[in-house]
Amino acid sequence: MALDFGSLAPSSVAQGRPWGVAALLLAVADAVQARLGAVTVQGELSGFSRAASGHCYFNLKDSDGGGALLRCAMFRRAAGLLGFAPADGQRVELRGRVTVYEARGELQCVVEAMQPLGVGSLYELFIRLKARLSTDGLFDPSRKRTLPAFARVLGVITSPNAAAWHDVLTAVRRRAPHVRLLLYPSLVQGPQAPAELQRALALAVGRNEVDALILCRGGGSLEDLWAFNDEALVRAIAASPIPIVCGVGHEIDVTLAELAADLRAATPTAAAELATAQRDDLLAGLDGFAQRLQRGLRQRLDNQGQRLDRLALQLGRPARLLARQGAALQARQTRLDWALAQRLGGERQALALTRAALGAALQAGLLRERERLARLALRLHAHDPQQVLARGYAWLSDDQGRSVTRAAQVRPGQALQARWADGQAQLRVESRLPTEPA
């Protein structure tokens, strides 16, 4: 559609005065809105996001893969009226008005209403999302766990006003009234449902008070069940540490949440039956165990009775029993005496050998010590001062008895005492002469 912007030339332009940026953008926005008014556009969602304020921002592009792109904003009031959960790749039809976003100078569409373009576009989105999650291994059977065989507490994630909750409650009361049910309420349809379901699942995991979880809701169209195809919810189900059985819709309905769960049920009632054991079956099994236990007990009692009878017969002839036991004791006594004699003979022989070796070692040690003492005596005798004096040396000492070994220790007139091997004499120093050099 061609737009005529000839009317945008006001007198200010004709007079040669330049535009201000804001004024130009405002003029363009006025011209676009005056020319187009409300518009209805069909295309594919891209980059969809919901801000904390509740406003939604996304791009709209043609499904043929062309490069045309229209930026869109859907404010909280209009977003709250959505009857489905928008997602990237989904084909939609929206109604709004085209304007200019002054902060960036971009053309954008302010969306007042939006609806999906039938089941075909949702199914295409479902196929693409399923392929991506399957590639990530979320549906791999090897990662799925077996539900507990005898659950005592089951958690149920569903709407408290839905028929699914009533179906699960009825089935559990009928099959296993001993099992306690805990409800984690959540929306199961609408744009807020995926976040609510994730919150309920996180609450159940955080409390860790149930043996298994049932995620369920009744049947419906693909749009009605779309919350159970939310990627974040599917990943949370796959990562749950608590086993999950998922029953959404009817037999023909299949959601990605069911594929990621540890066990899929055709309906909520079937999910309750899979998560619980039939009480009558359990009681019948217990009866079978009791019967087998009674038969085993009777057989054990019979066997012990026969054994007791045999023992009683043996006790009826005590003389022969005592003779046999006496012979056994005599044989053991003979073997014990022989073993003791052998052991004592070996110990005596070992003791004699040890005594001989010890005596020899003691004699050798004494001889070595005597030789060492003799050598020490010779060395001590050689260093005896009396022996040194006998070789012609004298020992000089002063009047205090201190040894005089150098000429520097004496002075003229000093009294000294000289000792030889055969006697001693009192001396007086007349003079001290230095030693002549060699």
Range of the domain at 397: 389-428
Examine the domain organization and report whether 153 and 267 are in the same domain: yes
CB atoms within 10 A of CB 138: 19
Q: What would the pLDDT profile of 125-141 be if each residue is shown by its tens digit?
A: 888 899 999 999 999 99
pLDDT of residue 65: 63
CA atoms of 273 and 169, how far apart (whole Å): 11
CA atoms of 21 and 291, how far apart (whole Å): 94
Examine the domain organization and report whether 162 and 93 are in the same domain: no
Q: Is 181 exposed, middle or buried (0-12, 13-18, 19+ CB in 10 A)?
A: middle
Domain boundary among the residues 116, 137, 166 is at 116
pLDDT of residue 218: 86
Residue type, 166: H
For 65, half-sphere exposure in the C-beta direction (CA atoms, 13 angstrom radius) is 0
Domain boundary among the residues 238, 258, 277 is at 277
CA atoms of 384 and 153, how far apart (whole Å): 106
Instruction: Report in angstroms the alpha-carbon separations of 132 from 228, 231, 277.
Output: 16, 10, 35
Examine the domain organization and report whether 406 and 344 are in the same domain: no
Examine the domain organization and report whether 185 and 263 are in the same domain: yes
Examine the domain organization and report whether 170 and 196 are in the same domain: yes
Number of domains in the chain: 4
pLDDT of residue 181: 94
Examine the domain organization and report whether 164 and 60 are in the same domain: no
CA atoms of 268 and 322, how far apart (whole Å): 77
In a domain, 210, yes or no: yes
Examine the domain organization and report whether 396 and 366 are in the same domain: no
Low-confidence ranges of the chain (pLDDT < 70): 1-16, 64-65, 118-122, 221, 251-253, 279-285, 314-318, 436-438
Examine the domain organization and report whether 151 and 273 are in the same domain: yes
pLDDT of residue 13: 47
Question: What is the domain-level CATH number for residue 221?
Answer: 3.40.50.2300
Q: How close are the terminal C-alpha atoms of the chain, in Å?
A: 138
In a domain, 317, yes or no: no
Examine the domain organization and report whether 244 and 346 are in the same domain: no
pLDDT of residue 429: 83
Examine the domain organization and report whether 109 and 179 are in the same domain: no
Examine the domain organization and report whether 243 and 268 are in the same domain: yes
Examine the domain organization and report whether 267 and 372 are in the same domain: no
